[in-house]
Structure 1
Amino acid sequence: MTTTRIGSLPRQRSAEPPWAAGGAEPPRDPGGRITVEPRVVEKVAVQAVREVPDAGPARSRGARARMSGGGVTVRLRIVVRYPVPVGEVAERVRARVRERVEWVTGGRVHYVDIEIAELVR
């Protein structure tokens, strides 16, 4: 007596690859890694500071960034318009920089340290 086991045969490949039937291109392999230099993160952070009302980057080196693993740490030197509350502006800057840097780099921002370098009228 012969028994037949269902599901024991290897799956057969079709003559054409699956993407050929639909006319679409084959799925792409990322083929490597992407490295974002700290200087790029610094430029993104400075631009994000410029987008916040009543704040701006300091004249000398407005941002420094450090990358480790998938995380980013940003140190900012900003100017704040007087007499706007410094704490409120700093929180808006922190949120904007975090949002922009995470969006551009795809990494997580661990810290955004802010130094108020100057008050301007």
Structure 2
Amino acid sequence: MAAEPARSPVRDRGATRIADRVVAKIAAQAAREAAGPVPEGGSKPHASVVVHRDVARVAVSLELAYPSDVGRRCGAVRGRVRSRVEALVGMEVHEVTVHVERLHSPLTRQATRRDRVS
């Protein structure tokens, strides 16, 4: 049986770089998991990320149903995004900003349906 060649020290083997867009996709998926179902007529959460030396700053934009506890849901999104990015990518997340772009109420959904039918 042949002996395996000696392995190089870790510092000499290179580095792994994870693209910002990959981190953004992970953050958007985590936001979807935490925010709950997308309101009727709404769009899925999306994220943008800035990474500098294995530290990520994440901005998430989402739409919520009205009425809802906006603060609680945004807090859940922040926590889920931070934990998923840190666990899956191994980056520290110093900041998660959540932008609620729109609140969807049953009244606005009815008005939108009427406008489409007319």
The separation in 2 between residues aligned to 1:73 and 1:55, in whole angstroms, is 25
Q: What is the one-letter code of the residue matched to 1:62? A: H
Give RMSD over aligned pairs: 2.5
1:116 aligned to 91, 97, 100, which one?
100
Paired residues, what number? 98
Gaps in structure 2 of 5+ consecutive residues: 106-118
What's the % identity of the aligned pairs? Answer: 31
TM-score, length of structure 1 as denominator length: 0.69
Residue 8 of structure 1 corresponds to none
Q: Is the 8 A contact 1:78 1:118 kept in 2?
A: yes
Residue 54 of structure 1 corresponds to 36
Residue 56 of structure 2 corresponds to 72
Q: What is the one-letter code of the residue matched to 2:32? A: R
Q: Is the 8 A contact 2:57 2:93 kept in 1?
A: yes
Which has the larger Rg? 1
Gaps in structure 1 of 5+ consecutive residues: 1-19
Q: Which has the higher helix share?
A: 2
Of 75-84 and 108-117, more deviation after overlay is shown by: 75-84
Residue 89 of structure 2 corresponds to 105
Q: Show structure 1 runs of 4+ deviating over 6 A.
A: 25-28
